[in-house]
C-alpha cells in the first residue's frame, strides 16, 4: 500500500483530485524489451537523419549564437511563426505570423487555453473517447467534461446538438467544444466535411468557441487535405498544432492560431508560465522547416505508419474475436478497439503484460468512467514484425478471457 502523503492537507483543492496514473507503474514493466508495447504514443524519430539535424543545429548556433542562447519574446520567434504559417498553408489555412503564439508543444497550448477559459464547474464538450493529455490539462481547472459519441466519421453532430441543448436546458450551457478532427487520438478517425460544417454551425448557434487540435492532420494515409474548422469560422475556432508528429516531440514546438484578443491573453499566460519558448529549439525548428524537405519527411513518417497500421489491422482481423470492432484509421498513430462486454481492458492489462504485450485501457480516454471494454493500440513505434506478434499475443489472451 502507498504511504500516506504528509503534505496532503496542504495541497490546493484542485490538486487533491489529481491521481497518479494506475497504469503508469505497469508501463514501467511494459518497457522491458520482451514486452511488445502498443501502449505508447511516440513517433518513430529513428527514421530521421540525425546528422542532418546536427548540421541544422550547428548552423543555427554558428549564425545566431547570441540570440539562440538568450531569452526571447512571449509570443515566440517571428521567424519561426513565419515558418509555421507555411506549415499551416500546406493544410489550407492562411494565417499571419502575428496571429500565432508559439508554445511548448500542443500540450502547453491546451493548458494555457484551459487556464484562460475554464472556471471550476464549466462544461467542456469533447469527443468520447478523447485525448488523455487534454483531459488532464483541462482537469486542473476543474471543469465538467461531457462526451459526445463518435463513429467512423468522427464526432456525431446530431448527438452534439442534442448534448448542447440538454446542457442549456439544465442551466449549465457548455463553454467550449474540444475536437481533434483528423486521425483522432485515440480513435484514429477523421471528421467528414459535412460534419465539420455542422459542428461549426452548432458552435455558432450555441455561441461557444471550438478548440481544434490538429497535430496529426498531415499524417494522412491517403495524403488528403481535410478542411480545417478554423478556415470555416476563423473567429469561432482556436486552432492548435505541433511539430511533434511532423518533425520531433523533442523540439517541444507547438503553436496556437487564435483571434487577436485571445492571442494577446495567451501571450500573457505564456509569459506568466515560462517567460518564453526556448530560442535554441525555435531556431532549430525554424531552420529545419526552411532548409529541409520537411514535407517529404512527413510523407516518410506517414508511409511507415500506414504500412504498420495495415499490418496491425490484418492481424486483428485474424487474431481477435469477430465481435471486436475497429474503425480503420485514416492516418495518425492509433487504432481504437471495442471489445465484447465481458472484457474489461483495465482488469486485463496485468495479464497482457504477463503475456508480453501492452496497450492503453480505454477508461483514461473518458472523463465519465466510459471505455471499460475499449483499448488504444499504437502503430507508430513498434516495427511490423513486433506489431504482428503483439496483436497475436493479445488476440490469444482475449480469446482465453472470453472462454473463462
The residue (of 181 and 390) whose beta carbon lies closer to ligand PMP is 181
The residue (of 188 and 215) whose beta carbon lies closer to ligand PMP is 215
Question: What are the residues whose beta carbons fall under 8 Å from the beta carbon of 239, sequence distance 6 or more?
Answer: 88, 93, 212, 214, 228, 229, 230, 256, 257, 258
Q: Taking contact as CB under 6 A, which single stretch among the options 78-86, 120-128, 242-250, 294-302 is the one that binds ligand PMP? A: 242-250
| Count of residues in contact with ligand PMP, rule CB under 6 A | 14
- With CB under 6 A as the contact rule, the residue among 75, 107, 179, 190 that binds ligand PMP is 107
Strand ordering across the sheet containing 374-378: 325-326, 334-338, 374-378, 360-361
* 76 contributes a contact to ligand PMP by CB under 6 A: no
Q: Supply φ then ψ for residue 161, to 5 degrees.
A: -60, -45
Cell of 144: 465538467
Q: Taking contact as CB under 6 A, which single stretch among the options 86-94, 103-111, 285-293, 309-317 is the one that binds ligand PMP? A: 103-111
Nearest-angstrom CA–CA distance, 285 and 271: 20
* 101 contributes a contact to ligand PMP by CB under 6 A: no
Residue 66 burial (CB count, 10 A): 8
Q: Cα 246–330–80 angle (5° rounding)?
A: 20
The residue (of 219 and 343) whose beta carbon lies closer to ligand PMP is 219
- With CB under 6 A as the contact rule, the residue among 133, 173, 259, 346 that binds ligand PMP is 133
* 242 contributes a contact to ligand PMP by CB under 6 A: yes
In the complex, what is the shortest distance from the CB of residue 244 to ligand PMP, in angstroms, rounded to a whole number? 3
In the complex, what is the shortest distance from the CB of residue 38 to ligand PMP, in angstroms, rounded to a whole number? 15
Residue 306 burial (CB count, 10 A): 18
Nearest-angstrom CA–CA distance, 45 and 301: 8
Query: Nearest CA to 41 among 337, 316, 334?
Result: 334
- With CB under 6 A as the contact rule, the residue among 56, 135, 167, 180 that binds ligand PMP is 180
Cell of 207: 455561441
* 330 contributes a contact to ligand PMP by CB under 6 A: no
In the complex, what is the shortest distance from the CB of residue 103 to ligand PMP, in angstroms, rounded to a whole number? 8
- What is the torsional sign of CA 35, 38, 40, 45? positive
Residue 140 burial (CB count, 10 A): 16
- With CB under 6 A as the contact rule, the residue among 254, 331, 362, 390 that binds ligand PMP is 254
Burial-class residue 38 by CB neighbours within 10 Å (0-12, 13-18, 19+).
buried
Q: Residue with the closest Cβ to ligand PMP?
A: 105
In the complex, what is the shortest distance from the CB of residue 132 to ligand PMP, in angstroms, rounded to a whole number? 8
Q: Supply φ then ψ for residue 212, to 5 degrees.
A: -105, 115
In the complex, what is the shortest distance from the CB of residue 109 to ligand PMP, in angstroms, rounded to a whole number? 8
CB 101 within 8 A of CB 255: yes
Nearest-angstrom CA–CA distance, 22 and 17: 14
- With CB under 6 A as the contact rule, the residue among 105, 128, 217, 228 that binds ligand PMP is 105
- With CB under 6 A as the contact rule, the residue among 106, 217, 234, 371 that binds ligand PMP is 106
Task: Show the site string, 139-178: x = touches ligand PMP by CB under 6 A, - = not.
Answer: ----------------------------------------
Q: Taking contact as CB under 6 A, which single stretch among the options 105-113, 229-237, 263-271, 336-344 is the one that binds ligand PMP? A: 105-113
* 213 contributes a contact to ligand PMP by CB under 6 A: yes
In the complex, the residues that contact ligand PMP under the rule CB under 6 A are 41, 105-107, 131, 133, 180, 185, 213, 215, 242, 244, 249, 254
Amino acid at each position: 500500500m502507498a504511504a500516506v502523503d504528509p503534505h496532503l492537507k496542504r495541497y490546493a483543492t484542485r490538486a487533491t483530485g489529481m491521481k497518479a496514473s494506475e497504469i503508469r507503474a505497469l508501463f514501467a514493466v511494459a518497457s522491458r524489451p520482451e514486452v511488445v508495447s502498443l501502449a505508447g504514443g511516440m513517433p518513430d524519430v529513428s527514421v530521421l537523419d540525425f546528422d542532418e539535424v546536427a548540421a541544422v543545429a550547428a548552423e543555427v548556433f554558428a549564425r545566431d549564437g547570441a540570440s539562440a542562447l538568450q531569452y526571447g519574446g512571449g509570443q515566440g520567434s517571428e521567424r519561426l511563426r513565419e515558418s509555421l504559417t507555411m506549415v499551416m498553408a500546406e493544410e489550407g489555412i492562411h494565417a499571419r505570423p502575428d496571429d500565432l503564439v508559439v508554445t511548448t508543444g500542443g500540450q502547453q497550448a491546451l493548458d494555457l487555453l484551459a487556464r484562460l477559459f475554464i472556471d471550476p464547474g464549466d462544461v467542456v464538450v469533447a469527443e468520447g473517447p478523447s485525448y488523455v493529455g487534454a483531459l488532464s490539462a483541462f482537469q486542473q481547472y476543474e471543469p465538467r467534461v461531457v462526451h459526445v459519441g463518435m463513429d467512423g466519421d468522427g464526432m456525431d453532430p446530431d448527438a452534439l446538438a442534442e448534448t448542447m441543448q440538454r446542457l442549456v436546458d439544465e442551466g449549465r450551457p457548455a463553454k467550449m467544444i474540444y475536437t481533434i478532427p483528423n486521425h483522432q487520438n485515440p480513435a484514429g478517425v477523421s471528421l467528414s466535411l459535412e460534419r465539420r460544417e455542422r459542428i461549426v454551425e452548432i458552435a455558432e448557434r450555441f455561441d461557444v468557441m471550438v478548440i481544434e487540435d490538429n497535430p496529426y492532420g498531415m499524417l494522412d494515409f491517403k495524403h488528403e487535405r481535410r478542411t480545417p474548422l478554423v478556415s470555416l469560422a476563423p473567429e469561432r475556432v482556436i486552432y492548435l498544432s505541433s511539430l511533434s508528429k511532423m518533425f520531433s516531440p523533442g523540439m517541444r514546438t507547438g503553436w496556437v492560431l487564435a483571434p487577436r484578443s485571445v492571442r494577446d491573453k495567451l501571450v500573457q499566460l505564456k509569459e506568466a508560465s515560462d517567460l518564453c519558448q526556448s530560442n535554441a529549439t525555435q531556431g532549430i525548428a525554424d531552420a529545419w522547416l526552411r532548409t529541409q524537405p520537411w514535407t517529404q519527411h512527413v510523407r516518410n513518417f506517414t508511409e511507415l505508419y500506414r504500412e504498420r497500421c495495415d499490418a496491425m489491422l490484418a492481424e486483428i482481423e485474424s487474431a481477435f474475436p469477430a465481435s471486436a470492432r475497429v474503425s480503420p484509421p485514416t492516418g495518425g498513430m492509433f487504432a481504437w478497439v471495442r471489445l465484447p462486454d465481458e472484457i474489461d481492458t483495465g482488469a486485463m492489462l496485468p495479464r497482457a503484460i504477463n503475456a508480453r504485450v501492452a496497450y492503453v485501457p480505454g477508461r483514461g480516454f473518458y472523463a465519465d468512467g466510459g471505455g471499460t471494454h475499449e483499448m488504444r493500440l499504437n502503430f507508430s513505434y513498434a516495427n511490423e514484425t513486433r506489431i504482428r506478434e503483439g496483436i497475436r499475443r493479445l488476440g490469444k489472451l482475449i480469446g482465453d478471457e472470453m472462454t473463462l
